Structure 1
Amino acid sequence: MGIEDGLWTRSRGAAYAEITRVAMELFLDQGFARTTIDQIAEAAGISRRSFFRYFGTKEDVVLGDLAVQGELVRDALEAIPLTVPPWEALQEALWKVDGLVGDDETMLKIATMMYETPSLRARSIEKHLAWQELLVPNIRRRLGGDPHAADGASAEVAADALVASAIACLDAAGAVWARNDGSPDLRTLYRRAVDSVRT
């Protein structure tokens, strides 16, 4: 990457972060549905057209980082020894990334907005499906077995189901956490969700 490319990338990253910051302030102040793209563009000092250079939809402003977080969870999972069982490895990887997301008060406001807004919920589920594709290969290795063997399909569906369940537990815990104003804490709710599925 040349100097000009590097400067362009940093400039684009700074603009992306600033638009996101301005938009999130508007969302949390007046609500997601009542905030328009035109309002975001005006507050950020850009044109409506420029907004769409950075974001495909208004929902992507809130959930754009979910795709990046999925990659971070995958990387954290890959760093955990294969001797650690799947459920425990997934939980460890999720919390390593959770610590990078932000303070609980802000996250609670964002979670409440997300779970109360149908379009955000739908987009969140879509992005979590992408997480599943990223995490399943590692869990297949943890479960062992040859994917090309006669029973390979059984091992494959087991890994898919386990990762889908772990993500569903995280989503369920998040919904309850938001409805109850952050109490008990998200990790406790996640562990309870997992325990109910594994029992």
Structure 2
Amino acid sequence: MTESAGSVERLWDRTRRSVQAEIIQVAMDLFLRKGFEQTTIDEIVAAAGVSRRSLFRYFGTKEDIVLGGLADEGTRVSAELAKRPDDEDLWTALRSAILAVEDTDADDERTLAVARMMYGNPSLRARSIEKHLRWQSDLVPEVRRRLGPPEETADLRAAAVVASAITCLDVAGEAWTRAGADQPLAVYFTRALDAVHRR
């Protein structure tokens, strides 16, 4: 790839991210004001100033506007896990890696409102679980390496550990939302993990 082609590609990527972020912002304002189900695609495209075709070039479904980046976070969690010391307890390493990608600069009130919307909407909840499960392919290789022998059960054990951690994150998020974010999500996530691996 030539330098000029690379520059054009980087410009395109920046433009794409900028448009996506603008659509998400506009759509989320509508969702939180009117409700997810009550907000139509036509209302989103009108408010964002884009065509339906453009919107669906960026987002496959209305649910993806809310949760589109969730599946990609698996790569970030995997990178954070690889940075943890090899001699660290696996569950501690997983907890630290998952919490490292949490957006600490997010507006707590808005985050809670979005969480209430997600946990209160069956299609959003299902899509969230589906996207979280895509973390399996990102995390299993590093967890498998850390678990070590026996080789014949390594894949099964690694998949079970990752699935358990993802489920803990989901139930922690639901409990955090129900409690009105009275404590940091990390507190709920730690309690959920402890319930699974310290028995």
Shift of 1:101: 6.7
SS in 2 for 1:18: helix
Identity of aligned residues (%): 52
Q: Distance in 1 between the 2:106 and 2:40 partners? A: 25
Shift of 1:152: 2.3
Shift of 1:100: 5.1
* TM-score normalised by the chain length of structure 1: 0.92
Alignment of 1:11-30 (within 5 A): 11-30=15-34
Q: Distance in 2 between the 1:100 and 1:74 partners? A: 19
Bigger shift: residues 80-89 or 53-62: 80-89
For 2:101, give the aligned amino acid: V
For 1:33, give the aligned amino acid: E
In structure 2, the partner of 1:197 is 196
SS in 2 for 1:66: coil
* TM-score normalised by the chain length of structure 2: 0.92
For 1:103, give the aligned amino acid: D
Q: Distance in 1 between the 2:71 and 2:128 partners? A: 10
Bigger shift: residues 44-53 or 93-102: 93-102
Q: Distance in 2 between the 1:125 and 1:79 partners? A: 26
In structure 2, the partner of 1:164 is 163
- Aligned CA RMSD, in angstroms, stands at 1.4
- List structure 1 runs of 4+ shifted beyond 4 angstroms: none
1:118 aligns with one of 118, 122, 131: 122
Q: Distance in 2 between the 1:187 and 1:181 partners? A: 14
Counting matched residue pairs gives: 194
1:134 aligns with one of 135, 138, 141: 138
Q: Distance in 1 between the 2:29 and 2:185 partners? A: 23
Which segments of 5 or more consecutive residues in structure 1 lack a partner in the other structure?
146-150
Which segments of 5 or more consecutive residues in structure 2 lack a partner in the other structure?
none
